[in-house]
Every structure is written in C-alpha cells, then in structure tokens.
Structure 1
Amino acid sequence: MRLGFVGLGSMGLHMARRLCDAGHELVVFDLNDAAVQTLVDAGAKRADSVSELANQVECGLVCLPTPDIVDTVLIGEGGLGAGSVRTIVDLSTSGPSAAQRIGAELGRRGIRLVDAPVSGGTIGAEAGTLTIMISGEDAAYHDVRLALEAIGKNLFYLGGQPGLAQLMKLINNTLCAVSAISAFEGLVLGAKAGLDPQTMLDVINVSSGQSFATSIKIPQCVVNRSFPPRFTSALLDKDVRLCLAEAERLGVTMPISQQTRQFIAFALSQGYGDQDYGNLIKIFEGWAGTQFGTQTAQEPVA
C-alpha cells in the first residue's frame, strides 16, 4: 500500500519506520529534516510539504502533538484534505469533539477519517506492540487494517461513531495519570519511612496496588533516576484536560481526575512541562525532603 505519513516525532518516527519495514511504499513529511532523512535512509520518499505529500498518496497517516496542529494539517489550507487523499488515519490524541468536527469536514470533501489513537509509548512504537483504538467507517478501517497491524499488536475497533476511539484513549491516559501521581506520593511516603524502593515495587506489583506506573513506568524510568524523555508532562496535561472537557460536556463528574489535573497544572507552572512526567515525583520528594530510588537501582530479574 502506498501511504503518506506526517509527524515524525518520538512516536511517529518509529511507526513510520515499521511501515517501511513491512513493505509499504511510504512518503513522509516533517519539519524536522533529520527525522525525515532517517526515514529516507530506510526507504521512504521525502515530500517537501504536506500539500506535496497529499497529492502523491490516497491514504495519509498523521501523528501530531496537539489538536490545533491536527486541525491545520488535516483540513487547513494546503493540508491533507486538499489533495488526492481519500482516507486519513489520525494516530494523534486530539479528543472526540475535534475528531467529530474534522471528520464531518473531511466527509464533505469525500474523505474518510479513521480515528486510531495509540497507547504503549515509544518502546511499543519501536517494537510494533502498540494498542490501537479505532473508530470510523467499517470499510475504511478494513482498508487500512494491514497498515495498522504493522505498527500495533492490539487492535480494538470501537464502532463507526466518530470520536469513540479518541474518548477511549483519553480515558486510558487519564487513568494512567491518576495512578501515576498516586503511586508517586505513596512511594515517596515509603522512602521517607525507610522502605527500600525496589522492594516496595516488588510488593506492589504482585498485590492490589499494581498499575502501569508501578510495573512499567517507575521501574524503567524513575527508580534508577534515569527519567528518559518518553511522554512530556505537557502532553499528559493536554490529555487529562481533553478528558475532563468531554466529561463536562456529557454531564459526568470526575473529581479525582480533576485533582490530578490540578497537580499537573502546578507541575507545569514549576517548569516541568517539557520534561517526561516521571519527573513529577520530584515535587513530592521536595515536599517530603527525601528521594525515591538511586542511580544504582536495577530492575528486578524477570
């Protein structure tokens, strides 16, 4: 399948590479020329603009950071929706309201939108093991399924209603945020009392407090104080805000998620926006006057 791909950031670069490796003919565009060159070296063709790419393919995929950028790239002047593209797959997290509005506009142009936000982080993107939540016209989904199978392991088709996949992704990421922040404060409490950081994780991960944060995020990124850049606090904040906005629109009260949003907003005011959200544990450490983990900590042997 001849595909276009716009957005070669920390997630998009890996997904586009997997499409190349799976044998798809790929045309790519990004403002980061080094990222584009990486894909060209892997066999992709370079486009010098979104408009140029849109006139070379019938199916375009995008992985972009914020709803306003998704809006511009998909339906703005010179965007994907102005070319020969007939199907667009949005791998971004832009929210259900944006998906419904963009989908309606693309539909008026005879273009099908497939919402396909992903979960699994940069490691999942590189390994091709992402979870992909999908909504949109059933025929469109089946037309792009081979491409999605090249980048994800767990595909969930949630129905034809626009925005359903986006809402599912927002719920997932908000739960991730809530569990991570609560894990940070609990683990800092244990560290302050003298509990061993790795032992705490070992206990929690075979008990009822286990979560993605305690089983994956904290063992890989926090306990050894490495804090690799995987998902910024600003992007996590964006997802939680979008989820709360949808909850308000539907009349659903989410007080615990609201508290988490307020804490993340405070973190952003303290300069954590561009840092991986694992760094937010440092706020609790500062308040408690202690530190969780050390640079010599190791992951437990599987």
Structure 2
Amino acid sequence: MGFIGLGNMGFHMATRLLQAGYSLAAHDANPALSARITQHGATWANSAQEVASAAEIVFLCLPTPNIVEEVLIGEAGVSQGSTVKIVVDTSTTGPETTFRLADSLRRNHIDLIDAPISGGTAGAENGSLAVMASGNPASYEAIVPVLRCISSKIFYLGSKAGQGQIMKIINNMLCATATLSAFEGLVLGSKAGLDSQTMLDVLNASSGRSFATEVKIPRCVLNREFPLQFPVKLLLKDIKLCLDESVRASVPMWVNETTRQMLSFSVSQGNGSNDYGTLIKHYETWAGTQFGNPS
C-alpha cells in the first residue's frame, strides 16, 4: 500500500492503515514528516514515483487540484511508477480535473478511484469518515476492504471517476452556507442578549439545526478556541469548484454565490490560513458583540 499526503487528515488515515496491518510506503512534500509516520511502521519514500513503484494501491490526500495533478502525472509522479494499478484520491480535486486525470492514468493502465472524504480530523482519527467513491467497479470492490479502515460510511456514486467529486463539492457548499447562516443568526441572538449555549440547545432541538450547530460551533467556536481543522482558503477552493460545476451544468446557485463572496472577503482580510470557524469574528466585529466565552 502507498500513501501520499500526510497533513492533518492524511496522517491519521495512513496511521489507521498501518494499525490494520497494511505495509505502507509513505511520502509527503515535507520531508520533516518522515519521522512522524515511520515511527508508526511506514517506510518513507522520496517521491510519488517511488511510492508507486512499491505499491499496487496508492492513496492521495492532498490540498489542491494542481498538487494532485503534479503528484499523479508530473515528472516524478505516480504515473511513472512501475507497480501501481489503482490510485485512490481522497482529496477534493473537483470533477473536471478528475475526469482528465482518470483518462491520463488509464493510458498507463492505472485506474483512478476518486474517493473524497468528509468528517474532519476527528473522523480521520477514529475511522468514521464518510467516503464518496466512484470509478471502475472492479477497482472499487478491490479497495473497499481498505476503505473500511478509514470509514464507517462508504458510498459508491457510479462507474465514472469524478462523480464522487461532484457529491463532495455539493456537500462542502451546503456545509459552508449553513455555517455562515448559523453565524449570522447566533451573532444576532448574542446582540439581543441570548445565552450562547442555550441558543445552540434550542437550535439542535429544532428545525434550525445543522452540522454547524451540532458539531462545529460547540467544539470549535463556543469556547473561542478556533482550532485549525479546515482553513478558510481550502473551503473557498471547494466552493469555487462547486460554482464552476454549476456554471457548466447551467444550474443557478444564487445563495451559494453569496457564500463564495464572504469567504473571498475573509481571505482578502488575511484570514485564509485560519480555521473557517473564525469567520464568525467578521460578523461579531460588524455587530459589536461576541458569541460564546473562553472556557
């Protein structure tokens, strides 16, 4: 088995594969991460090509489509490997890039299964991620036992690589829009003097609940800690991918376009590398109030 991309998500996923008994050749662009993964039993590889010459199945967990493309078909990329037969891309790469890369890899007799994930670092660590997979049915069936090491919820979206990516960017778009909407409402309630925890309790017992009110805000915002789990700039990348797809499909997304504008504004204010929970601070500044309290 091979694994490329050992960031916040990838490291936990790779560790779970090792814990399940798989031998793992691992690589990241940051060589400083080698000690972190080799102490769990992985073998360090110096390039993507080296990983793909040591493993028939190679997983990717990378931040942006251009990095995925370079890792797969660059000069020292996976496509140059001598052993690899299946690539499993858990990144949010977007459907258009995935369609193109799948065609390119197929010419080298490599199947691309796009299998983007959702569930955050906690889900990666405890193996409860949601996986949205698509691609060659035989290759998909071959990797299902491996996917079960990282996921308790595996969905097969179809035989065309890229369908999983469409599902993932829709998911992230809805998550982002619901989160911003929740921030607006909670800041209004704070300004009116409502208790932060009580507001969440009411929402989560009512029709206004969402992942934001049930998970994200209680864990990351209520106590004002804002741990880095998913940066604003990567969420903006995913929203742009979704809106690009909506234009290609002639599907209007007026509400979600407002979400993109808010995320773009936040990045322009220097907030791109911070967790998307910090977006609430813009609303708090404008309203002259604060939601939650330090624990």
Question: TM-score per shorter chain, which class?
Answer: over 0.9
Equivalent position SS for 1:219: helix
Aligned to 1:256: 255
Measured against aligned partners, the alpha-carbon deviations of 1:148-196 in whole angstroms (never above 9, x if no partner) come to 1101110001110121000000000000000000000100000000000
Aligned to 1:196: 195
RMSD of the TM alignment (CA)?
A: 0.7
TM norm structure 1: 0.96
Equivalent position SS for 1:270: helix
Aligned to 1:295: 294
**1:35 counterpart letter in structure 2:** L
Q: Which of 28, 38, 43 is 2:41 aligned to?
A: 43
The runs of at least 4 aligned residues of structure 1 exceeding 2 Å deviation read: 31-36
Q: Which of 69, 79, 86 is 1:71 aligned to?
A: 69
Give the alignment of 1:205-244 within 5 angstroms: 205-244=204-243
Equivalent position SS for 2:130: strand
Q: Which of 40, 60, 66 is 1:62 aligned to?
A: 60
Aligned 8 A contact 1:8 1:36 in 2: no
Counterparts of 1:266 and 1:48, CA distance in 2: 38
Equivalent position SS for 2:88: strand
**1:7 counterpart letter in structure 2:** G
Equivalent position SS for 1:100: helix
**1:259 counterpart letter in structure 2:** T
TM norm structure 2: 0.99
Counterparts of 1:134 and 1:217, CA distance in 2: 25
Instruction: Give the CA deviation at 1:39.
Output: 1.5
Gaps of 5+ in 1: 297-302
Equivalent position SS for 1:251: coil
| Percent of residue pairs identical | 53
Measured against aligned partners, the alpha-carbon deviations of 1:130-159 in whole angstroms (never above 9, x if no partner) come to 000000000000111111110111000111
Q: Which of 7, 10, 14 is 1:9 aligned to?
A: 7
**2:156 counterpart letter in structure 1:** Y
Instruction: Give the CA deviation at 1:36.
Output: 2.2
Aligned to 1:169: 168
Aligned to 1:131: 130
Instruction: Give the CA deviation at 1:34.
Output: 3.7
Give the alignment of 1:44-193 within 5 angstroms: 44-84=42-82, 85-193=84-192
Counterparts of 1:58 and 1:292, CA distance in 2: 50
Counterparts of 1:95 and 1:89, CA distance in 2: 14
Counterparts of 2:101 and 2:213, CA distance in 1: 37
Counterparts of 1:77 and 1:261, CA distance in 2: 34
**1:49 counterpart letter in structure 2:** S
Aligned to 1:299: none
Instruction: Give the CA deviation at 1:35.
Output: 2.5
Aligned 8 A contact 1:61 1:88 in 2: yes
**2:218 counterpart letter in structure 1:** P
Counterparts of 2:273 and 2:237, CA distance in 1: 12
Aligned to 1:24: 22
Instruction: Give the CA deviation at 1:38.
Output: 1.7
Measured against aligned partners, the alpha-carbon deviations of 1:93-132 in whole angstroms (never above 9, x if no partner) come to 0100000000000011110000000000000000000000
Equivalent position SS for 1:271: helix
Measured against aligned partners, the alpha-carbon deviations of 1:181-214 in whole angstroms (never above 9, x if no partner) come to 0000100000000000000000000100000000
Gaps of 5+ in 2: none
Instruction: Give the CA deviation at 1:32.
Output: 2.5
Measured against aligned partners, the alpha-carbon deviations of 1:10-42 in whole angstroms (never above 9, x if no partner) come to 000000000000001100001233432121111
Aligned 8 A contact 1:13 1:35 in 2: no
Instruction: Give the CA deviation at 1:74.
Output: 0.7
